[in-house]
Structure 1
Amino acid sequence: MDLRQIKNIIKEFEDSKIDKLEISDKDFSIKLEKNKTQTIFSSSPSVSDNGVATPPVATPSEQVQPEVEENTNVLVKAPLVGTFYQAPSPDASPFVRVNQKVNKGDTLFIVEAMKVMNEIAAPVSGTVVKINVSDATMVEFGQVVMEIQE
């Protein structure tokens, strides 16, 4: 199964009313589950005929759940482990800068994982007040990448 097929399955799953989906092929397995607050994607490694385990395909949710601090800044966290990029290409300008106004759904940054570029969208409208990560550095799951003031 190629990446395009996986993305199509995920898109159809997100748009459907189905809460749980599991697909298994001879050397590929994917499980998709919806939670009330966030869609969770997971995949398990499978063993091919030659007995070698194939790595799982990590397909993260692109929904970033905001957390509100006491100072009412919304914390935008990395939804997966990967490399943070503030622009779509090395010679392009960043998606956002500090003190820039953003609308809910605007692309804030990219997290690359396993050669897949995952665009992370703004969970709320507001002003970017802080960017906590340098371009082209690793981020951990749940690491605060940006702060947006509503």
Structure 2
Amino acid sequence: MTSALRAAAHSGAPISASSIARRAGADPAFQYCQRDLLALVHASELELSEQNPAGSTPVSRASLQAGLANAQARNTPLVAPIQQPGKRLSQALGQQVWRESGLGAPADIEGLQQTITRLEQGTTELTVALEEREAELEAAREVNRQLTKALNQHE
């Protein structure tokens, strides 16, 4: 771009962002992404217009800035419809990876809830049965102590 700018200045060709981009074989929008190149073009444009007021371009810098602002305003509503499919695709891929990694919740949550309920009921039943067995064991030990005591008293 800088070589195209130098060549245009040397040949006396009009200097503008679009003419320099055409001369360099680049998209004019490229300069708007590269602020340093755009500033260099504008500085050269101003320098040329100060040297030769009759040869300056009929479009003012304010007009170009207004055109750029209008173009950006027209592009703003177009950005959302373009980004929506990308967001949906990203969400779908994220969910798929989440499921495949095993970090996500399994698909059959209802079945797992039923299994949890069944296992909790089984645990409760086993706890009650264990308490009954412990009570029976304690009763048997008490009977055993009494029998041992009775045997020791008869001897």
Larger radius of gyration: 2
Higher helix fraction (1 or 2)? 2
Q: Using CA pairs below 8 Å that are at least 6 residues apart, which structure has the higher relative contact order?
A: 1
Higher strand fraction (1 or 2)? 1
TM-score, normalised via structure 2 length: 0.21
